[in-house]
Structure 1
Amino acid sequence: MSDSASLITSSVFPGGARLLADIGGTNARFALETAPGQVGHIHVLACADHATLADAMRAYLALPDLAAASKGIRHGAIAIANPVTGDLVRMTNHHWEFSIEALRRDVNFEVLAVVNDFTALARSLPHIPAAQKRQVGGGTAVEGTPLGLIGAGTGLGVSGLIPSASGWTALLSEGGHVSFAPMNETEVAILQFAWKEFEHVSAERLLSGVGIELIYRALADYRKLDAEVLGAPEIARRALDGSCPLCDDTIEAFCTMLGTIAGNLGVTLGAQGGIYIGGGIVPRLGERFDRSGFRTRFEAKGRFRNYLAAIPTFVITAEYPAFLGVSAILAERLAAA
């Protein structure tokens, strides 16, 4: 898939065009930035089609419409759905693993920045236009205060953005792996069902694509119903078209449980600037998410109900927001070089 409407053929960066990438467990998204804020040549490649990340990068750069724009690229930045704590990266939700330095040499770059995908997405938050985010519920953002970020897709990403005199600092968080905390009898039953498969049930086990499937099976077991073998996209489709009450209840449980984790993040960070919701799942739910119990659960913190009611929550509707973040990170890296 490509973004043919925004192709850019000339480069005004002194060091040439810059490669930007957002690597998830399923898809690898690539783009070229040829001038500040000018991002085009967007293509999405399936991770499963390439043996290594280097192979995927070379496949992207070899695409016919990139022949002129990608010539002589020396700088790149990659956001990846994985902890990045040193030179060696092993993906949690895909088989790719690599040395950052070896990858840099392999693709013949001078500078290659590799960061956690939600660190990059967090860095994008101040740059997301109002038209590319949708507020759910009440609250008003307080300028100059922390922002929180959470997003469900192949996994559950969590981060935050902390302001300082010199700018913003993105948190290197793995908050998706906190222990799941049930809030009612049904969620206790879901947790007990999940315990049959997993010794430790993290938030990510339930608030992700495979998590939706797990919730569906758990609810069927709890209600003594026959469950079909359904993937998350089909569960969501049937919920949205109203053809399956159990699927709709599954999506409702997913949304309310996400509200619990988002509320936890709000009070942990003091995120009075707002909580942003990214990832691949929630934006696709559209108004079903808006009318779910997410916001009610988000505020359900007893004595801190009023505190959370003042914090706005936003669904990120921008198609490729992580590119904004990796662009900012790469620009800082090059400025410091």
Structure 2
Amino acid sequence: MRHAAENQRLPFPILLGDIGGTNARFSILLHEGAEPISFPNVATADFPTIDEAIRVDVLEKTPVKPKSTILAVAGPIEGDEIDLTNCDWVVRPQSLIADLGFTDVLVLNDFEAQALAAACLTEDYRQEIGKPAEPMIASRVVLGPGTGLGVAGLVHARETWFPVPGEGGHVDVGPRSKRDFEIFPYLEPIEGRISAEQLLCGRGLVNIYRAICAADGVEATLALPSDVTAGWQSGRDLQAAETISLFATYLGRLAGDLALIFMAKGGVFLAGGISQRIIPALKAPEFRQAFEDKAPHSDLLRQIPTFVVTHPLAALAGLGSYARTPSAYGISTHGRHWTR
């Protein structure tokens, strides 16, 4: 078993996998023109290893024997053992080849897959935030508030999409408004700083809510992200409602910053379950106002569209697009592609 050469097309059928901290999602692509064969979500806690999950919940439930697999994982891809950030699974490509019969294993970053999706998803799978606009064929940005905060760029050059994975969710954020300065002292810093992920993810919702309650001198009674969103939806919890409003504001600020960094005239795409659940709040004025409030470049930001990705399996759709037409994407597979 060895690392494969760059840009080698993987043999069909291909198993596609989106491996998150809580759930893993799989589908099989029989050939270039086929629609993917989907499987029910797998709870990562139900299996000790990814190998066992693939064997039991995919391979034993279909007569199709995939020859290769492309996995999108949340974690750094270094060496032959890949630890997932929010899950006990370890991806060992050589074991997948030896034990499950794959000839090829390609491992990508999870938000690299989301960036691939931003290149290929049609209007049926995105919701405009702000004025309706068709995204230009130009560089884009993907943000995904979920268990953590994923960020990726998507650069377009020489008629090719180049996904740029990174750790943009861990950039510094700070207070701007009068209300921010009232709330931020109650946010708990990590090693002296507040990062975007401390605000813009599931636990970030709770962090903002608790800081608002502390600033208002009221008891924080909501403990889970779902409690906060439920309190906002019911309209009966003022602190929960403000939490969602500030979440939209902070997300807009960061999205605008990243749009400037990447000159993302092709748009900013908000992925992840939280974005889908709070679409009404994102359609309220706060998100776009914060996104565009970037003097001296506010006019530029007004021209950049923003979308919520509504595809239920966006990462798998991105992987599928790459599997069908790898030449359309500038992905370095060095050190990430193993072959028999």
TM-score category, normalised to shorter length:
0.7 to 0.9
Partner in structure 2 of residue 278 of structure 1: 271
Give the Cα–Cα distance (whole angstroms) in 1 for the partners of residues 285 and 105 of structure 2: 41
| Deviation at residue 331 of structure 1 after TM alignment | 4.4
Corresponding residue SS for 1:87: coil
Partner in structure 2 of residue 21 of structure 1: 17
Say if 2:86 is the partner of 1:58.
Answer: no
1:105-124 matches, within 5 Å, as 105-124=98-117
1:227 is aligned, of 220, 245, 254, to 220
Does structure 1 conserve the Cα–Cα contact (< 8 Å) formed by 2:291 and 2:301?
Answer: yes
| Deviation at residue 106 of structure 1 after TM alignment | 3.5
Mean Cα displacement is larger for which, 89-98 or 73-82? 89-98
With normalisation by structure 2, the TM-score equals 0.87
Partner in structure 2 of residue 154 of structure 1: 147
1:105–1:199 Cα change, 3 Å: farther
Unaligned ranges ≥5, structure 1: 1-13
| Deviation at residue 90 of structure 1 after TM alignment | 1.8
| Deviation at residue 298 of structure 1 after TM alignment | 0.5
1:132–1:196 Cα change, 3 Å: closer
Corresponding residue SS for 1:38: coil
Corresponding residue SS for 1:144: coil
| Deviation at residue 293 of structure 1 after TM alignment | 0.9
Partner letter of residue 18 of structure 1?
Answer: I
1:133 is aligned, of 101, 106, 126, to 126
| Deviation at residue 198 of structure 1 after TM alignment | 5.5
Mean Cα displacement is larger for which, 145-154 or 161-170? 161-170
Say if 2:257 is the partner of 1:260.
Answer: no
1:1-337 matches, within 5 Å, as 15-36=11-32, 37-62=34-59, 66-68=61-63, 70=64, 72-138=65-131, 140=133, 143-195=136-188, 199-291=192-284, 293-331=286-324
Give the Cα–Cα distance (whole angstroms) in 2 for the partners of residues 308 and 23 of structure 1: 33
Mean Cα displacement is larger for which, 231-240 or 139-148? 139-148
Give the Cα–Cα distance (whole angstroms) in 2 for the partners of residues 32 and 142 of structure 1: 29
| Deviation at residue 146 of structure 1 after TM alignment | 0.5
Mean Cα displacement is larger for which, 323-332 or 169-178? 323-332
| Deviation at residue 152 of structure 1 after TM alignment | 0.4
Give the Cα–Cα distance (whole angstroms) in 2 for the partners of residues 172 and 219 of structure 1: 33
1:215–1:126 Cα change, 3 Å: same
Unaligned ranges ≥5, structure 2: 1-9, 334-338
Deviation per CA, 1:62-102: give whole Å up to 9, x if none.
45xx332x3x2211111112232443322222222333333
Mean Cα displacement is larger for which, 257-266 or 117-126? 117-126
Give the Cα–Cα distance (whole angstroms) in 1 for the partners of residues 103 and 325 of structure 2: 15
Give the Cα–Cα distance (whole angstroms) in 1 for the partners of residues 138 and 59 of structure 2: 43
Does structure 1 conserve the Cα–Cα contact (< 8 Å) formed by 2:39 and 2:58?
Answer: no
Give the Cα–Cα distance (whole angstroms) in 2 for the partners of residues 198 and 152 of structure 1: 22
Q: How many corresponding residue pairs? A: 321
Give the Cα–Cα distance (whole angstroms) in 1 for the partners of residues 102 and 27 of structure 2: 16
Does structure 2 conserve the Cα–Cα contact (< 8 Å) formed by 1:140 and 1:310?
Answer: no
Higher relative contact order (CA 8 A, sep 6+): 2
Give the Cα–Cα distance (whole angstroms) in 2 for the partners of residues 87 and 313 of structure 1: 38
Give the Cα–Cα distance (whole angstroms) in 2 for the partners of residues 85 and 295 of structure 1: 38
Give the Cα–Cα distance (whole angstroms) in 2 for the partners of residues 139 and 303 of structure 1: 24
Does structure 1 conserve the Cα–Cα contact (< 8 Å) formed by 2:23 and 2:41?
Answer: yes
Does structure 1 conserve the Cα–Cα contact (< 8 Å) formed by 2:142 and 2:151?
Answer: yes
Partner in structure 2 of residue 7 of structure 1: none
Give the Cα–Cα distance (whole angstroms) in 1 for the partners of residues 54 and 199 of structure 2: 32
Give the Cα–Cα distance (whole angstroms) in 2 for the partners of residues 142 and 49 of structure 1: 40
Partner in structure 1 of residue 336 of structure 2: none
Partner letter of residue 29 of structure 2?
Answer: E
Give the Cα–Cα distance (whole angstroms) in 1 for the partners of residues 291 and 192 of structure 2: 27
Does structure 1 conserve the Cα–Cα contact (< 8 Å) formed by 2:222 and 2:228?
Answer: no
Give the Cα–Cα distance (whole angstroms) in 2 for the partners of residues 108 and 219 of structure 1: 53
| Deviation at residue 178 of structure 1 after TM alignment | 0.9
| Deviation at residue 42 of structure 1 after TM alignment | 2.8
| Deviation at residue 292 of structure 1 after TM alignment | 5.0
| Deviation at residue 140 of structure 1 after TM alignment | 4.5
Partner in structure 2 of residue 4 of structure 1: none
| Deviation at residue 255 of structure 1 after TM alignment | 0.9
Does structure 1 conserve the Cα–Cα contact (< 8 Å) formed by 2:73 and 2:108?
Answer: yes
Deviation per CA, 1:122-148: give whole Å up to 9, x if none.
112222111111111137456332111
Give the Cα–Cα distance (whole angstroms) in 2 for the partners of residues 128 and 246 of structure 1: 36
1:167–1:86 Cα change, 3 Å: farther
